[in-house]
Amino acid sequence: MVLKTVLGMSIAQHLEEVHQRIAKAAQDASRDAACVTLLAVSKTFPAADVRAAFDAGQRAFGENYVQEGIAKIAELADLRGGIEWHYIGPLQSNKTKVVAEQFDWVHSIDRLKIAERLSAQRPAGTRALNVCIQVNVSGEASKSGVEPAEAAALAHAVAALPGLRLRGLMAIPEPADTLDAQRVPHARLRDLLNTLRADGLDLDTLSMGMSADLEAAVLEGATMVRIGTAIFGARTYTT
C-alpha cells in the first residue's frame, strides 16, 4: 500500500507532530496534555485517510457536511465500534435525523429547535447524543453560533432534553495573527463555560482550537481541539 504523504510526511507523522504541539502548549499552561482530546477533522478527505489516521491510533473524527459524513461512516462501518464521530458543521432541521442516528457528538447547536429535533430523533436504546453549544465569541456577523448573552438560556433548555447530553461549548474564533490576540476569544469561551458551571450545569468540554490557533486554545483551557489541515493537508473544496 502506498502511504499518502502531505508535504513529504505521512498522516501518522502529522498526527505525531500535532500531539507534540498539544503537549508543548499543555506544558506551557501547566495542564495535563491527557486532558486535551484531539479531534481529527476529516472533511473533504477520503475514507482512506481516516483509515490511515485510525491505524496510527486516532479515534475521534469530525465532519462538517451531513452527506459526506454519512457516506464516510458507511464506508468505514468496520471501524464503527472504535471510532467516535463528531458532527461539527452547520446543521439544518431537515438533516437532523441522520445526524441523530449516526453521530456520537454534535458541536454546532445554535438554536433550540435543532436540539429538540436531535433529541426526539435520537434512536431509543442508544446513548444520549453528546452536544456542545456553538457560541459566536468574535461577534462577526458571518459566523454562526449563539450570542454569548443568549448562551445560558439555550444551555439550560438543551440540558433538559432527554435524548441529549450537554457537554459544553464550542467556538470558531475569527483568525488572528498573534498568540495574544488569538487567546482573547478562547478566554471568553472559557469564562462563559465557567459561568454556566457555577450556575449548576455539569459541563466538561471546551471545543476550541484549530490548526492555526491550537496553542492559544490549549493555553486558555481547551479540552478538545479540532484539527484538519495540520493532519490531512490543505483542503480543496469542490461544490
Q: Which residues bind ligand PLP (CB under 6 A)?
A: 41, 43, 64, 88, 172, 210-212, 226-230
* Gap between the Cα atoms of 64 and 91, Å rounded: 9
* Gap between the Cα atoms of 159 and 104, Å rounded: 16
In the complex with ligand PLP, the residue whose CB is nearer, 52 or 125, is 52
CB 103 within 8 A of CB 87: yes
User: Smallest gap, in angstroms, from Cβ of residue 164 to ligand PLP?
Assistant: 19
Grid cell 456542545 is found at: 132
User: Smallest gap, in angstroms, from Cβ of residue 228 to ligand PLP?
Assistant: 3
| 52 closest CA partner among 105, 4, 87, 92 | 4
User: Smallest gap, in angstroms, from Cβ of residue 84 to ligand PLP?
Assistant: 15
CB 22 within 8 A of CB 227: no
In the complex with ligand PLP, the residue whose CB is nearer, 71 or 160, is 71
Q: List the beta bridge partners of residue 85.
A: 61
Q: In 3-state terms, what secondary structure has residue 164?
A: strand
User: Smallest gap, in angstroms, from Cβ of residue 207 to ligand PLP?
Assistant: 8
User: Smallest gap, in angstroms, from Cβ of residue 134 to ligand PLP?
Assistant: 8
CB 69 within 8 A of CB 63: yes
CB atoms within 10 A of CB 10: 15
In the complex with ligand PLP, the residue whose CB is nearer, 2 or 141, is 141
In the complex with ligand PLP, the residue whose CB is nearer, 193 or 227, is 227
Going by the DSSP 8-state scheme, the letter that residue 92 receives in this structure is -
In the complex with ligand PLP, the residue whose CB is nearer, 65 or 150, is 65
In the complex with ligand PLP, the residue whose CB is nearer, 12 or 120, is 12
User: Smallest gap, in angstroms, from Cβ of residue 125 to ligand PLP?
Assistant: 30
